[in-house]
């Protein structure tokens, strides 16, 4: 890789941090007054969406959504799952789920960040995956959020896997919650962001198109917890096969 190319990528990646010096106080800060009462959360959620969309726009990233023919019920809650390769996945989910205010289940470490950490902690559910008691508390908090009317987004890989891993092994939490609360699952498959804005390298990446597939929602109405692993396997294969399809399409275009 040429030095000039590396410098341009570094500048572009630095631009992400620069714009968020302004975007986080602007959008996340504006959401704070609406985070203290559940009934005002949809307003806070709108500000979070604006933060997400601003980041994508200013970084020169845009998505093309392939969507199964299904109209989601605005009055229903969902468990959203997706493969996870970058912080931009969060911004994409915010942008895609416009009519369903949701909370993310994410790393507790992010709560330590100045200012952003406060908003993140008030808006979402934090988990310390090294603590069994933390994991138990998380399930309780997720159920509370669902009972208050919110949807939940969980990345079932449990974090961003090693870049050499095509799709990480799915953990059971999202499927346990979906079955227990009888909430449908919406699987998303996100392609290209692994190379466009990778989390594993600051000298790789570029603006451009991100392909996304929104699959049919999967009902859990007639499922019991005994079906949890079958549901997990079904969702894993659905996302894995779609990622393979995206890869084939990319190879075909580049030939």
Please report the sign of the dihedral spanned by the C-alpha atoms of residue 47, residue 48, residue 54, residue 57.
negative
- pLDDT score recorded for residue 138: 83
pTM metric for this prediction: 0.92
**Residue 113 above 90 pLDDT?**
no
List phi, psi (to 5°) of 76: -105, 155
First to last CA, the chain: 22
Tell me which of 240 and 1 has the higher pLDDT.
240
pLDDT attached to residue 136: 76
In this predicted structure, the answer to whether residue 115 has a pLDDT above a threshold of 80 is no
Q: Is the pLDDT of residue 246 over 80?
A: yes
Q: Across the chain, what does the average pLDDT equal?
A: 91
Show me where the domains of the chain are located. 61-254
Per-residue pLDDT averaged across 83-106, rounded? Answer: 93
Find the mean pLDDT for residues 50-60: 96
Q: What is the pLDDT of residues 168-187, one digit of tens each?
A: 999 999 999 999 999 999 99
One-character DSSP codes across 91-148: HHHHHH-TTS-EEEEEEGGGGGSTTHHHHHHHHSEEE-TT-HHHHHHHHHHHHHHHHT
**DSSP for residue 218:** B
Residue 103: predicted pLDDT: 94
Contact 28, 115 (CB under 8 A): yes
Instruction: Give the pLDDT confidence score for residue 134 in this predicted structure.
Output: 65
What is the arithmetic mean of pLDDT over 94-120? 85
Whether 133 has a pLDDT exceeding 80, the answer reads no
Residues in the chain: 255
Topology of domain 61-254 in CATH is Glycerol-3-phosphate (1)-acyltransferase (3.40.1130)
What is residue 131's predicted lDDT score, i.e. its pLDDT?
Answer: 64
Q: What is the DSSP letter of 163?
A: T
Q: What is the DSSP string of 20-36?
A: HHHHIIIIIHHHGGGSS
Sheet hosting strand 102-107, strand order edge to edge: 61-67, 208-214, 184-190, 78-82, 151-154, 102-107, 125-127
From 67, 83, 72, 63, select the one nearest 215 (Cα to Cα): 67
Region 145-152: mean pLDDT is 91
Q: What is the mean pLDDT of residues 59-65?
A: 96
**H helix runs in the chain, sequence order:** 3-23, 29-31, 41-58, 88-96, 116-123, 132-147, 173-180, 193-196, 228-254
> Is residue 118 over pLDDT 80?
yes
Q: What confidence tier does 50 reach under pLDDT thresholds 50, 70, 90?
A: very high
Both structure tokens of 166: 């095509």
Confirm if 214 and 186 have CB atoms less than 8 A apart: yes
pLDDT band at 110 (very low <50, low <70, confident <90, very high): confident
Asked whether residue 229 carries a pLDDT value surpassing 70, the answer given is yes
Residue 223 pLDDT class (50, 70, 90 cuts): very high
**Is residue 60's pLDDT more than 70?**
yes
Q: What is the pLDDT of residue 255?
A: 65
């Amino acid at each position: 890789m040429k030095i000039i190319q590396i410098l341009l990528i570094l500048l572009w990646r630095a631009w992400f941090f620069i714009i968020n010096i302004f975007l986080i106080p602007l959008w996340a800060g504006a959401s704070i007054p609406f985070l203290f009462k559940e009934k005002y959360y949809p307003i806070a959620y709108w500000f979070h969406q604006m933060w997400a969309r601003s980041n994508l726009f200013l970084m020169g990233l845009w998505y093309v959504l392939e969507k199964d023919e299904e109209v989601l019920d605005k009055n229903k809650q969902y468990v959203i799952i997706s493969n996870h390769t970058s912080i931009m996945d969060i911004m994409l989910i915010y942008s895609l789920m416009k009519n369903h205010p949701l909370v993310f289940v994410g790393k507790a470490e992010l709560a330590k960040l100045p200012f952003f950490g406060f908003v993140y902690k008030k808006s979402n559910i934090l988990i310390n995956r090294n603590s069994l008691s933390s994991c138990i508390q998380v399930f309780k908090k997720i159920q509370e959020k669902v009972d208050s009317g919110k949807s939940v987004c969980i990345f079932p890989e449990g974090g961003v896997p090693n870049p050499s891993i095509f799709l990480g092994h799915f953990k059971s939490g999202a499927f346990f919650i979906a079955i227990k609360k009888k909430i449908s699952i919406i699987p998303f498959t996100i392609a290209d962001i692994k190379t466009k804005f990778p989390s594993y390298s600051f000298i790789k990446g570029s603006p451009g198109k991100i392909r996304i597939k929104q699959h049919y929602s999967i009902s859990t109405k007639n499922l019991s917890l005994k079906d949890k692993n079958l549901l997990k396997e079904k969702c894993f294969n659905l996302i894995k096969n779609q990622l393979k399809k995206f890869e084939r399409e990319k190879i075909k275009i580049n030939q």
